């Protein structure tokens, strides 16, 4: 390795795009993020080719060569443990069961790699952008599904014995549909939190509500596909539509229950909410208030009303601020901690 090996790369491998960043040994971001379309469905070798070319571009942009990269952090959109992916999710079949971390490290001439899943990487990213924060951080991110991650005080992600920790979408939720049944989750089980708090859940709920006679005249009952209705729902909510607000309020309250249980287990001090809602200035404040109502119904009062020092104890809620590059930054910072 070259003497100038003072940089750490973050490689965020998603189903849609691959985002890559470089940080230096002091923890400063070096150069710009490079984002390319993901080829994960074409197999891991195709993605390795992309990663190599991104590393070349990242280093060339700051006037060094790939030798300058001392360590790499990488995240994958699937549960993984010790470099091996557990389930295929959005990936081609050859990713599963292969030690992706070691294969890539060999291909790059032995550069050490830290590998984790996308939820942990996003949590690490939110931790990295809060430089003054020294406690724990729980990330909960409603998106297509419901992702999460936990960063322990000091900055390491808690991954669990099998790399399967913090699958927050699949904890049990006590809520039932109008007919008394528990909703079906995409994982095959019944009554998961994700079956209430995700884009997939929202589509189901919209369908069920619009089928009721009292919503016959609702403007969303226009024959458009339910995927499209789900995307339009936020605009309806912002314009004060009663049904849209009911659906988001229900989702937020149920999320609050789930977060209360997670806080009861981990007591992280800081809960960061990610996902698409983080980008909706205005509406997200209303959503957060609804979420807190559910949280306070379910959580022990001590988490929300500490008699000691409300700034330090209790549970604080913040929206994600790391943006698009959060996961890539998160794993780059972890690589810096581990390999510098
Ligand atoms: Zn589930």
113-151 confidence digits (pLDDT tens): 999 999 999 999 999 999 888 889 999 999 989 999 999
Bridge partners of 39, per DSSP, are none
- Give alpha helix (H) positions in 62-109: 100-107
pLDDT at 1: 45
Bridge partners of 304, per DSSP, are none
Over the chain, what is the mean pLDDT? Answer: 93
Query: Which residues, other chains included, contact 313 with Cβ-Cβ below 8 Å and sequence gap of 6+?
Result: 269, 306
CA of 131 to the centre of ligand 1 (A): 34
Query: Which residues, other chains included, contact 317 with Cβ-Cβ below 8 Å and sequence gap of 6+?
Result: 271, 272, 273, 288, 291, 292
CA of 185 to the centre of ligand 1 (A): 5
Question: 7-130+324-339 sits in which CATH class?
Answer: alpha beta
CA of 318 to the centre of ligand 1 (A): 25
pLDDT at 305: 62
pLDDT at 279: 86
Domains of the chain, by residue range, sit at 7-130+324-339, 137-320
CA of 239 to the centre of ligand 1 (A): 32
pLDDT at 276: 86
pLDDT at 2: 46
Tokens of 178: 């109008």
**Torsion of the alpha carbons at 331, 336, 339 and 340, rounded to the nearest 10:** 170
Q: Report yes or no: 11 and 331 within 8 Å, Cβ to Cβ.
A: yes
Give the position of tokens 């995700």. Answer: 198
CA–CA distance, 98 with 103 (Å, rounded to integer): 8
pLDDT at 312: 54
Domain 7-130+324-339 and domain 137-320 have a common topology: yes
CA of 79 to the centre of ligand 1 (A): 14
- Among 104, 77, 72, smallest CA distance to 88 is for 77
CA–CA distance, 74 with 113 (Å, rounded to integer): 7
CA of 122 to the centre of ligand 1 (A): 20
Query: Which residues, other chains included, contact 151 with Cβ-Cβ below 8 Å and sequence gap of 6+?
Result: 123, 124, 126, 127, 136, 137, 139, 157, 158
Distances (CA, A) of 54 to 6, 28, 36, 47, 84: 17, 19, 8, 10, 22
pLDDT at 125: 97
Ligand 1 is a single-atom ion; what residues have CB below 5 A from it? 170, 185, 187, 189, 192
CA of 198 to the centre of ligand 1 (A): 11
CA of 145 to the centre of ligand 1 (A): 9
What is the model's pTM?
0.93
CA of 174 to the centre of ligand 1 (A): 13
Please tell us whether the domain made up of 137-320 is placed in CATH 3.30.950.10: no
Mean pLDDT, contiguous 10-residue spans, the chain (340 residues): 77 95 95 94 96 96 95 95 87 94 98 97 96 90 94 95 94 97 95 97 97 96 95 93 97 97 93 90 92 92 64 81 94 96
CA of 171 to the centre of ligand 1 (A): 7
CA of 275 to the centre of ligand 1 (A): 18
CA of 188 to the centre of ligand 1 (A): 6
pLDDT at 311: 56
> What is the SS3 string spanning 172-183?
ECCCCCCCCCCC
């Amino acid at each position: 390795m070259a003497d100038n090996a003072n940089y750490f790369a973050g490689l965020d491998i998603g189903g849609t795009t691959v985002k890559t960043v470089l940080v230096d040994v002091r923890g400063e971001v070096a150069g710009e993020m490079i984002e390319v379309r993901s080829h994960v469905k074409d197999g891991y070798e195709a993605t390795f080719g992309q990663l190599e070319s991104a590393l070349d571009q990242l280093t060339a942009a700051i006037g060094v060569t790939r030798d300058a990269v001392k360590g790499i952090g990488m995240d994958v959109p699937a549960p993984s443990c010790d470099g091996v992916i557990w389930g295929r999710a959005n990936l081609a079949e050859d990713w599963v069961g292969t030690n992706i971390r070691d294969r890539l490290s060999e291909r790059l001439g032995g550069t050490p790699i830290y590998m984790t899943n996308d939820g942990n990487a996003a949590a690490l990213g939110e931790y990295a952008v809060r430089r003054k924060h020294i406690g724990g951080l729980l990330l909960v991110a409603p998106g297509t599904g419901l992702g999460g991650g936990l960063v322990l005080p000091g900055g390491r992600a808690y991954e669990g014995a099998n790399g399967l920790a913090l699958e927050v979408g699949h904890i049990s939720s006590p809520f039932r549909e109008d007919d008394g049944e528990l909703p079906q989750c995409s994982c095959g089980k019944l009554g998961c939190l994700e079956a209430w708090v995700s884009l997939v859940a929202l589509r189901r709920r919209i369908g069920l509500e619009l089928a009721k006679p009292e919503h016959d005249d609702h403007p969303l009952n226009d024959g458009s596909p339910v995927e499209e209705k789900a995307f339009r729902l936020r605009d309806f909510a912002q314009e004060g539509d009663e049904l849209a607000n009911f659906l988001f309020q229900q989702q937020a309250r149920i999320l609050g229950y789930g977060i209360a249980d997670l806080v009861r287990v981990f007591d992280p001090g800081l809960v960061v909410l990610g996902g698409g809602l983080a980008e909706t200035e205005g509406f997200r404040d209303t959503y957060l208030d609804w979420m807190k109502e559910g949280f306070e119904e379910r959580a022990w009062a001590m988490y929300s009303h500490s008699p000691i020092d409300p700034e330090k104890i209790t549970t604080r809620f913040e929206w994600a601020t790391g943006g698009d590059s959060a996961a890539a930054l998160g794993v780059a910072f972890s690589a810096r901690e581990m390999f510098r």
